Amino acid sequence: MTKESVIELLTKKDAQKKKSRTPARLDFLQSATGAVLALFILFHLIFESSILLGKDSMYHLTKAFEAEFIIDGGEPLIITGLAFVVFMIFILHAAIAMRKFPASYSEYKSYKTHRELIQHSDTNLWFIQISSGFVMFFLGSIHLYIMMTQPQNIGPFASSDRIYSDVMWPMYLMLLVSVVLHAGVGIYRLIIKWGLLDGENPRANRIRSRAVVKGFVVFYLMIGLFSLGTYIKIGYEHRDDYGQKYTLEQK
Ligand code: HEM
């Protein structure tokens, strides 16, 4: 091969690379799966905090998800299906996000130096997001697998027994902090990246968006922590009857 033909080949390849839509498509897919998961988690933490209103409320909500209004006694397999779909989106989102992880120790070191040098708050947010994402990779998978395979064990007593007697509360505590931070930072970055709330004055709106997202993070952390505390309390009181399911006659 002559020098000229090698140059021609490389230039062609470069042009093809430039035309490739794959990075843009992956970027969009990452945003879209992230938005679906964030929306899911916002509703999830609210539904799950129904325990704060009492055991009956959580029981009725669980049964509603099992479609008790049309299927006598409810069907936990519906939860298996839902958890499976969420798990698939979760895996897809994580797989696409992996390309943003530092690929080597030297890459990580140069990022660290860059972070210390410029002290840019959005760079720090990126760090929060990859570390919380890393934690969720493991803990989210454990949780989703249990929800998928034991959907019949969801309810005021079954959930509390799992959290207290099966000592799942440390895992939930770490998962709660990671998911709320990850979703909060993710939503903020989506707003910025796609210019969703730019309006007339993007700079001022960016600061406003940041404050609103911070408020959401604190709110969701609070309801998550209070709910977890309530499950722990119920689990502690129920420890001698571990495994016994809740019925509406029991209080
Ligand atoms: C369809 C899928 C899902 C179902 C059916 C589900 C269901 C539940 C249930 C019933 C609980 C109460 C504790 C228990 O029974 O073990 C719970 C707690 C929790 N879930 Fe999920 N979950 C799902 C997906 C997720 C995902 C994808 C995440 C985040 C990655 C997540 C994060 C959490 C957290 C952080 C808690 C503890 C909340 C607190 O501290 O109050 N869940 N989930």
d(Cα 151, Cα 146) in Å, to the nearest integer? 8
Say yes or no: CB of residue 66 within 6 Å of ligand 1.
no
Whichever domain contains 193, its CATH number is 1.20.1300.10
The mean of the pLDDT values for the chain is 89
- How far, in Å, is the centroid of ligand 1 from the Cα of 157? 15
What pLDDT is attached to residue 18?
62
Distances (CA, A) of 22 to 30, 97, 202, 242: 12, 14, 29, 52
163, part of any domain: yes
246, part of any domain: no
Nearest Cα residue to 162 out of 48, 249, 11, 41: 48
4, part of any domain: no
- Which atom of ligand 1 is found nearest the CA of 153? 15
236, part of any domain: yes
Q: What are the φ and ψ backbone dihedral angles of 101, each rounded to 5 degrees? A: -75, 145
For 208-237, write each residue's pLDDT tens digit. Answer: 888 999 999 999 999 999 999 999 999 999
For 119-128, write each residue's pLDDT tens digit. Answer: 666 678 888 9
For 60-102, write each residue's pLDDT tens digit. Answer: 999 999 999 999 999 999 999 999 999 999 999 999 988 777 7
183, part of any domain: yes
Is the pLDDT higher at 25 or at 194?
Answer: 25
Residue pair 230/57 in contact by the 8 Å Cβ criterion: no
2, part of any domain: no
- Which atom of ligand 1 is found nearest the CA of 226? 41
The mean pLDDT value for 123-141 works out to 91
235, part of any domain: yes
For 159-213, write each residue's pLDDT tens digit. Answer: 999 999 999 999 999 999 999 999 999 999 888 887 777 777 878 888 888 899 9
- How far, in Å, is the centroid of ligand 1 from the Cα of 44? 7
11, part of any domain: no
Total number of domains constituting the chain: 1
Q: Tell me which residue range forms the domain holding 83.
A: 25-241
Nearest Cα residue to 35 out of 205, 186, 176: 186
